[in-house]
Homo-oligomer: A and B are copies of this chain.
Amino acid sequence: MKEVIVELGERSYPILIGSGLLSERELIRSLIPARQVMVVTNETVGPLYSAQLCDHIKDREIREVRLPDGEAYKTLASFETLMSALLEARFERGCCIVALGGGVIGDLAGFAAACYQRGVEFVQMPTTLLAQVDSSVGGKTAVNHPLGKNMIGAFHQPRAVIADLDTLRTLPSLELSAGLAEIIKYGLIDDGEFFVWLESNLERVMAGDVEATTFAVERSCRDKARIVALDEREGGVRALLNLGHTFGHGIEHALGYGEWLHGEAVAAGMCMAARMSARLGLMSPTDARRAETLIARAGLPTSAPTGITPADMLAAMQLDKKNRGGRIRLVLMRSCGDSFLTDDYPVEVLMETLGATESPAGG
């Protein structure tokens, strides 16, 4: 078992990474000391792991809310369902909410934990690769609004995160790829050494090699934790974690949320950021091609889908939370492992990047 500590002063917490962690009764019990426990899960993950989890803590007062699976349920309505369940069970402020599932469950249950009685304990048990390397670090919680993703939320740090790699064995390969998009992102942002490691080891992670997967998850959590520790409330450097996301949100919005996985949109978004960086002469064409190649090897798209318009993408990008004064702020790159935030670029280059499906580096 590996442990990554997310250093946030009195809100610091551990991420535990390893195989079979969900079957370790004493570990689970020590991480959930609360007398009242609400397990939030979905109809896919719940049947696989909930009974075992509840058995570990069967001496507690336990409630479970099992939601339908999918981003469509990351809503204020689901949030209200959780609030009602907590109040009907008369759960006190000393209770703990456990998120057993992927990013949707983590974000929703975390937002419920942030707001129930103005904040209760929260433990995450991420069961997708994406959730293990992304949602488990940083305390971002949220639900969607019809007019925008993650627009309603809070920063609320968990008490602990338990990333059991065995849960990835049942994960569809496209969802594994979606997680790899975020893993590659950490390399691109500021960890060139990790990027090079991924160039050599990506297929081992994709094949479920435990040693390689443990390393990739741990390194990703460490990279993200380092950035979050510098900037808990996203005032500055944390915005780098949005590499590929501004373009990605544009794709998701123009295509309709749910058509592509978030990780697919981010993957294409990172390629667009690389191509725009190359267009601006910031990044070498070779490095832009390396980024695209690794992303393609992970089974991910490198361009926006055909049929969506630059104007549609732009409209969604204008709603991005990073924007200030109406300017779209983007994370661009100087190399595979060196990125920065900027809104200082010619708008024509952004429009060209949105309109082009071909890579200038690959031409």
User: Which residue numbers of A lie inside 8 Å of B, CB to CB?
Assistant: 35, 76, 80, 83-84, 87-88, 90, 92-94, 114-119, 140-142, 145, 147-148, 151-155, 233-234, 318-319, 321-326
Contacts and interface: CB of A to CB of B under 8 A. Distances in A.
A90 B154 contact: no
Identical chains bound together, number? 2
Given A115-B153, A116-B152, A154-B114, A324 B83 contact: no
A119 B233 CA distance: 9
B155 A87 contact: no
Contact of A325 (B35, B153, B319): B35
Given A119-B154, A154-B114, A155-B119, A145 B87 contact: yes
Given A90-B318, A154-B114, A147 B84 contact: yes
A119 B116 CA distance: 17
A145 B116 CA distance: 11
Given A116-B152, A119-B155, A154-B115, A92 B142 contact: no
Contact of A147 (B87, B141, B322): B87
A88 B321 contact: no
A154 B154 contact: yes
Given A151-B117, A155-B118, A145 B319 contact: no
A330 B327 CA distance: 52
B142 A118 contact: yes
B155 A94 contact: no
